[in-house]
Amino acid sequence: MFVSGRKILVLIVLLAVIKPVFGQQDPQFSQYMFNDLYNNPAYSGVMGVTNLTMLYRSQWTGYTGTYDEGGAPNSFLASFNSPVFKLRSGAGFYFMNDNIGPQNNIQFMGSYAYHLGVGNGKLSFGVRAGIFGQSIDFSQYRAVDPSDPLLLNGKESQYRPDMGVGIYYKAENYFGGVALNHILKTEFDFGSDSLKNALANNLVINGGYRYELNYDIILTPSLIVKTDFVSYSFDISVLGTYREKFWGGLSYRQSDAIIALMGVNVLKDKSLKIGYSLDYVIQAQKAKQATSHEILMSYNMPAVTGGGKKIIRTPRFRH
């Protein structure tokens, strides 16, 4: 029995929202619409091209702590994914470094996804596994009681296994997915039961629609929702693309910021994407700096057939 692609997408969303609906456990990226491998392992290879993406985010730029230590949070992400056509699947990995004052988190995750043709699109089931590392520099804390046994000396680091699973559907004009990350609820204790803490399960739902306003202009509204089953946050965005080269738009992050996004696709085949986003904080400005900045570079590598000849793709119809 065949099920239409649109029904599959609706089913994905319904499966997500029937669950309970966060503090920032994982770094957030304003250009999330170009960063789906980080959000969902089922994205691996779905686009049918080999892609390398790098993102750097400086959050609350210029912020300093009370004691001029710690500084503003900053995050770096590098990801790679590629289709494996012979196996009807895709594979990828990402490296993430997230610095939040005295704490630094590192992830290295590999992913694999199996693809099925459904309706006029592709349904993908993915899994990822790897290492989550957490480091704390206890010298950056200023304690009321310096003899507090919870304060360790110097810098302590621990590395633990981590896993995630996801479902993703991609058709010509719409896409969506659901992923559950940190399913192992990995714990860090730094040698003390009193410091024990676990990574919370993290559900990520995202989707969007590609609408051709005319031959030159494409509008793409999109949404991402994240929850740890205690609280949630969402970003909603609209991007406009002109002649597959220039793009820009606006985004809103719930109870946090409004965001301007802009970028350009360069090279002859428009395979190199360069993007920038500016967040302006609209809530709790006194506790933060007003702006955050993010830089994106994403490159789709040329496809090569078995005989070594390049495949020329038309970006307008790439999916």
For 11-28, what is each residue's pLDDT tens digit?
444 444 433 334 457 899
The least confident of 89-93, 145-149, 277-281, 293-297 is 145-149
Residues with Cβ within 8 Å of 59's Cβ and at least 6 positions away in sequence, in order, are: 72, 73, 74, 75, 279, 292
Number of domains in the chain: 1
Give percent above pLDDT 70 in the chain: 80
The one-letter amino acid code at 289 reads: Q
**Contact by Cβ (8 Å): 239, 258:** no
Beta strand extents in 2-154 (DSSP E only): 51-58, 74-84, 89-100, 103-118, 121-137
In angstroms, the CA 180 to CA 168 distance is: 12
Burial annotation 78-113 (CB, 10 A radius, 16+ → b, else e): ebbbbbeeeeebbbbbbebbbbbbbebbbbebbbbb
Identify the band that residue 91 occupies on the pLDDT scale cut at 50, 70 and 90.
Answer: very high
Does the pLDDT value for residue 113 go beyond 60? yes
Contact assessment for residue 237 and residue 251, using Cβ atoms and an 8 Å cutoff: yes
Closest by CA position to 257, among listed 229, 227, 237, 232: 237
Q: Which of 279, 243, 293, 292 is nearest to 264 (CA)?
A: 243
Cα separation, 223 vs 245, in Å, equals 22
What pLDDT score was predicted for residue 61? 81
Q: What pLDDT score was predicted for residue 186? A: 87
Mean pLDDT over each residue of the chain, to the nearest integer: 85
- What pLDDT sits at residue 22? 41
Q: pTM of the full predicted structure?
A: 0.82
pLDDT digits (tens, 9 = 90+) for 148-167: 666 667 678 899 999 999 99
Tracing tokens 């939040």 back to the chain, one arrives at: 100
> What is the extent of the structural domain holding 230?
5-317
pLDDT of residue 155: 79
Q: Of 114, 47, 132, 125, which is closest to residue 81 (Cα–Cα)?
A: 47
Note the pLDDT tens digit of each residue in 114-153.
999 998 899 999 999 999 999 988 777 666 666 666 666 7
Here the CATH number for the domain that contains residue 129 is 2.40.160.40
Which one is predicted more confidently, 100 or 246?
246
